[in-house]
Amino acid sequence: MKQGILEVYRDRIEGGLSHALSGDAPLRSLLRYHIGLEDEAGAPTRATGKMLRPSLVLFVAEHLGAEPDTALSSAVGLELIHGFSLIHDDIQDRDHVRRGRPAVWTICGIEQAINAGDLMHTLAVSTALESSPAAAACLIQATQQMIEGQSHDLQFERRVASSDEYLAMIDRKTGALLRCAFELGGIAAGVNGDVRTALIGLGRAVGRAFQIRDDLLGIWGRDDVLGKATGSDIRRRKKTLPIVLLFERAGGDDAVALSRLYAHDNEKDIDAASAAWVVDRLDELDVRTACEEMIRRHHDEALDRLADLPFSDEARDRMRELVEFLARREK
């Protein structure tokens, strides 16, 4: 995707992040490390990831008639909220690696990592306010939904969610910030009514396709592509969509064994042999196929919503390319 949506705004976004996180305080340095602007020694680097959400903000704003710079502060604020959520997620999940590098909490300890995440949250809101009060309000609402979704996700560690409950959870945990990206672009361009409704629908569909693909990668992704161990979601008993569907489809002895394996009071990671057994059951019951079909459905829904937006043909083609990439990505 050379000079696609994920590349064309990168320099502008990284400049905005660098400005928002400037300062000599130790926490500021931690935040620059976490966001990918510095390495552990404080040397400049470019490890900022896909920059999906802020890129969407600027693209939507520009192609609905606004100057991208009018939306830059809200785009940066959104990326900072995303960064704040990842710091806290890594603590809660005890993930040691983030984008192929040590997670913040493994460097400075849990207490300081919480402080770093909290600071990033406040910087995000104050940065978004530089765009407009409406942008900040949209971001705050999305942040509340994201946190509620994370809470539901943690609750599901103690019980098995239905597939409907799981989809409702990812609409908040993952989908809220993606919907917000499209909305923030619309706010910068001053759109309302049917256009804003289409933007929200597009964000919802993209969020579902994106997260379900992520769930598949957590089980079937390749180590060298993801920068983390394939199957880690199974070994850590994460009840992502494939596992939720497996619980719905398994019967008899398999259902009993699965319930024992995923019992919430079982503190040890699932061993390699048991993880392989889970993958075999997933394959036997066509769970991966079912997830791929759901991705296709939400992909098609996203394209339907895209058709409702007053984009130029070129802009629509570029957004379609991005939707295709997100639905089929390998990392």
Strand partners, 44: 38
Residue 236: its pLDDT value, please?
84
Residue 1: its pLDDT value, please?
40
The series of mean pLDDT values per 10 residues for the chain, 331 residues long, is: 79 98 96 97 94 98 97 98 97 92 97 98 98 98 98 91 96 97 98 96 97 94 53 86 97 94 82 93 96 98 97 97 93 77
Residue 4: its pLDDT value, please?
87
* Cα 184 to Cα 53: distance, rounded to the nearest angstrom: 10
Which domains, from first to last, does the chain contain?
Answer: 7-191 (1.10.600.10), 192-324 (1.10.600.10)
Which amino acid belongs to residue 330? E
From the centroid of its chain, how far is CA 19? 23
Cα–Cα distance list, 66 to 59, 185, 202 (Å):
10, 9, 19
Q: DSSP letters along 153-167, please?
A: HHHTTSSPPPHHHHH
Tokens 């049917």 identify what position?
194
Contact criterion met (CB below 8 Å) for 22 and 28:
yes
CA atoms within 13 Å, Cβ hemisphere of 154: 13
Residue 286: its pLDDT value, please?
97
Q: Pick from 37, 24, 28, 123: which is nearest to 73 by CA?
A: 123
Contact criterion met (CB below 8 Å) for 302 and 323:
yes
Backbone angles phi, psi at 38, to 5 degrees: -140, 160
Token digits for 110? Answer: 């849990």
